[in-house]
Structure 1
Amino acid sequence: MRNRRSLVAAIAFIALIIGACGGGAAPSGTLGPLSGDIRISGWSSSPTEDALLQDSINAFMAANPTVKVKWEPIAQDYETVLKTNLAAGTEADVFYADIFWIDSLMKTGKLLALDDLMAKSGVKKDDFVPSLINAFSYQGKTYGIPKDFNTLGLVYNKDLFKAANVAEPTNDWTWNDLSAAAKKLTSGSVVGLSLPADAARFMPFLWQAGGDLNNINNAAGQAAADFYTGFEAKDNVSKLPSELGMGWAGEAFEKGKAAMVFEGGWLPADLNNNFKSVNYGVVQMPKGTAAKSNLIFTVSYSISAKTKNPTAAWALANYLTGSDNQTKVLKAGFALPTRQALSSQITNPNSKAIFDGAPYGKPFNYASANTGKVNDEINKALESIILKKSSTKDALDKLATTIKPLLQ
């Protein structure tokens, strides 16, 4: 889906800007001899990505010839298939777990706590971006190692900014700067901004205003909703993607219908591959009235609590998230690194803007297992305000009542 496209394929634009990268292999520590068969499953995003992962698996097996690893990609409805397999006891030893729904797996004992194995291997939580590794922790235990990640950035059309005589945005932009630019950039069939009725775009604005889901209809929540929806409902400088005849905001940007959008690395990847004539830039999300904030989309390598070979399973997960392999994936252009030591390798301002959103970002599981349901209700409320079917207060009061039991 456009909100949370595959986190790996989403960031292919990094390949254009990564230089020579260093970094040692994941430490082997004192795991001892490894042997046995291991299965690993995840979603299949593209033949190129699958081939890259298989190459990494082959390298792991070459270094550990007594371990046999089988890659089992799941082509469709990954979450449903994985949870069905977990219920039946047929899951792979190692598998992708999305931050969007891993919470329920951690709380129900489906995953192996990795802390003892990490300690034996010399792997520390501090090796990883804190907001990422913490997203896969529960009650002091670690249940996944972040595979890669994404945040949101302000993607803007440089040519449209120049034509409107508007200074390009910076990482220091505020809400006021965004609003002023959107008004100046709106002309004819081009809107300054395309904001969808989408919780995955609105939530950072709620946090930037000092709001939260538990009190979404308080003053901070109303300020955030007024600001977000006001671009269209009040100032007429934004349009829903559907009103522009587009499937998502990124398409509106690609087709020159919107001068600015808030998207992750999937949009630069698509621009670089399919819309090379678009002259674009990316900066961090603007600072709100209370703080900077962002949304983190991330995936882990997790291990089944029922695996019969936890040591070899961990060795594989550790290898795939080690510095050497993350560097290889970076060079291929398929991921943002989760290891802090590799952050210096990202020097291009476009990709760095996406990476630098992590320290002040919050993971995309703010309502735990009910995040999807809460998102649906937020989307309905935003659309009703944008299309002037209800006032901000009425929409948020109704929303607060609806989501309250989902937040328990």
Structure 2
Amino acid sequence: MHAKPRWRSSVVVAGLLLSAAACGGGADSGDGKVQLSYRIWDKNQLPAMQRIVDKFQATHPNIRVGIQLTASQEFWTKLQADATGGSAPDVFWMNGPHAQLYASNGVLLPLSDAIKSGQVNLSNYPEALSRIYSYQGTQYGVPKDFDTVGLWYNKKLFDAAKIKYPDDTWTWQTVAQVARKLTDASKGVYGIAAPAFGQENYYNTIFQAGGQVISPDGKSSGYDQPAAVAGLRFWTDLMKAGVSPSLKSMTDTFPSQLFESGKIGMYYGGSWNAIAFAQNSAVKDGVDVTVLPKGTKRAVVIHGLANVAYAKTKHPKEATEFITFLGSKEAADIQAQAGAVIPAFNGTQDAWVDSMPQYHLRSFLDQLAYAVPFPTSKNTDAWQTQEPTILGPAWSGEKDVDTAAKELAAAMNTALGKEK
């Protein structure tokens, strides 16, 4: 399995949302118990989610929860249709790029009362993660899990080149120097994969250069600022130096697969890659990970999922009780032991770290101190889907990165201007 960031699976068109007039969610079960529906998209997490549901039902005998598994490529299309028709599930997974869109259209249940009463305590989760699920001062989601990005490296290639493994002393300059030493184009081996990816690559370096992708008020692009251009240029310089496969190669074969095949020395990859690498006998023990190298400063993008409730659920009290349990230490421990994701509840991540002891997975946690929320707006997809198209020519060398950055800023500002 070659995992991709969990937001990259679909596009939601804001204009089609939302007139959720009718009440939706689960129907009463007929035996006096409240029936809740819970929609998720990852079949690998289904066993852990079912164990969590079983635990919840054991302490809430008046509530039954039915899990709806919807494939990731259909999840947002189906949720959009259900929300428009007033029949969305009572509780469902939410990601950063769609959170403001659904919150602003009145689809999500505000958690203000649960937070005020102490039922939900946001200090249990990384602050930068909770912030993703707040809109205009109101919290709509309880963090479920999170991911950060690290520098993965191939130990065999480093050993062959007699280069010390990466560590927390590395800077952008170290990456560039080592990438040159590891590259042997005649053997099809490259020092680094430098695809035009936001979450894994240039968002991190933009923040490390002191730049921003979007202004704090969410109204203007940061791409035309010098610091953001510097963050982009880090990657385009690696492409120019010939130490990364071409853009076409990384389009034909996903970069993590090139890394797993032993053709790439270094790869900026997420915590979500760990389980796929661990399951691949070719690289299982031959790769490792450390914190991201430093630019002008340290920074890493944090993203993660939250559990949210449908604003029109027939059972807001029970849905809130279930969301609260989903955000509990008990639920987080079950997730951690499964190894698929890093649980969001502070202090429960050790089981995830211990689930794959061959890797320095603590690197992903060590970066929480300087984590920056994944950049979003009310209609994130409207500008985020334009990034690879506009930046692609800068990666392939057809266009100067300054020019591409200005074009992207203009397109992004146009999209942001349409958000009401």
- TM-score past 0.5 threshold: yes
What is the identity, as a one-letter code, of the residue corresponding to 1:97?
A: M
Measure the CA separation in 2 of the matches of 1:385 and 1:320. Answer: 43
Distance 1:227 1:322, change over 3 A: same
Code of the aligned partner of 2:37: R
Alignment match, 1:23 = none
Q: 1:243 & 1:335 partners in 2: Cα distance?
A: 29
- For 2:344 and 2:408, locate their aligned partners in 1 and report how far apart those are by CA, in whole Å: 35
Separation in structure 1 between the aligned mates of residue 376 and residue 413 of structure 2, nearest angstrom: 10
Aligned AA for 1:197? A
**Alignment match, 1:355:** 365
**Which whole-Å CA distance do the structure 1 matches of 2:161 and 2:362 have between them?**
26
Equivalent residue, structure 2, for 1:390: 399
Q: Does structure 1 residue 170 correspond to structure 2 residue 167?
A: yes
**Match status 1:101 vs 2:59:** no
Counterpart CA distance in 1 for 2:251 and 2:399 is 24
Match of 2:310 among 304, 316, 328: 304
Cα–Cα, structure 1 residues 300 and 367, in superposed 2: closer, same or farther, change >3 Å? closer
1:41 counterpart residue number: 39
Distance in 1 separating the partners of 2:270 and 2:101: 25
Instruction: Name stretches of at least 5 consecutive residues in structure 1 with no aligned partner.
Output: 8-33
With the length of structure 1 as denominator, give the TM-score of the two structures: 0.86
**Distance verdict in 2 for CA 1:207–1:244, change over 3 Å:** closer
Partner of 2:203: 203
Following the alignment from structure 1 to structure 2, what is the Cα–Cα distance between the partners of residues 215 and 74? 35
Instruction: Say if 2:114 is the partner of 1:135.
Output: no
What is the TM-score normalised by the length of structure 2? 0.83
1:79 aligns with 2:79: no
Question: Which amino acid counterpart does residue 358 of structure 1 have in structure 2?
Answer: L
1:49 partner amino acid: Q
How many residues are treated as equivalent by the alignment?
Answer: 377
Q: 8 Å contact 1:367–1:374 — kept in the other structure? A: no
**Please, which moves more after superposition, 336-345 or 85-94?**
336-345
Counterparts of 2:266 and 2:163 in 1: how far apart (Å)?
Answer: 12
Q: How far did residue 54 of structure 1 move? A: 1.6
Alpha-carbon separation, structure 2, partners of 1:6 and 1:395? 24
For the 8 Å contact 1:131–1:363, the answer to whether it is kept is yes
Two-structure CA RMSD over aligned residues (Å): 2.3
Taking structure 1 as reference, are residues 2 and 389 closer, same or farther at Cα in structure 2, changes over 3 Å only? farther
Q: Are the counterparts in 2 of residues 131 and 359 from structure 1 also a CA contact under 8 Å?
A: no
Q: Match for 2:367: what amino acid?
A: G
- For 1:244 and 1:394, how far apart are their aligned partners in 2? 23
Counterparts of 2:405 and 2:304, CA distance in 1: 28
Distance 1:2 1:53 in 2: 19
Per-residue deviation, residues 97-147 of structure 1 (Å, max 9, x unmatched): 111211111122211111312443543111111111121112222100011
Contact (CA 8 Å) 2:391, 2:408: kept in 1 or not?
no
> Is 1:236 aligned to 2:242, yes or no?
yes
Structure 2: runs of 5+ lacking an equivalent: 9-31, 214-220
Q: Distance in 2 between matches of 1:236 and 1:157?
A: 19
Q: Secondary structure at the match of 2:189?
A: coil
* Equivalent residue letter for 1:209: A
- The CA distance in 1 between the partners of 2:377 and 2:257, in whole Å, is 30
Q: 1 or 2 for the larger relative contact order (CA 8 Å, sep ≥6)?
A: 1
Equivalent position of 1:192 in the other structure? 191
Query: Amino acid of the residue matched to residue 405 of structure 2?
Result: L
Q: Name 1:126's counterpart in structure 2.
A: 123
Residues 204/146 of structure 1: CA separation in 2 closer, same or farther (3 Å cut):
same
Q: Are positions 1:147 and 2:144 aligned together? A: yes
Identity score, percent: 27
**Alpha-carbon separation, structure 2, partners of 1:2 and 1:371:** 21
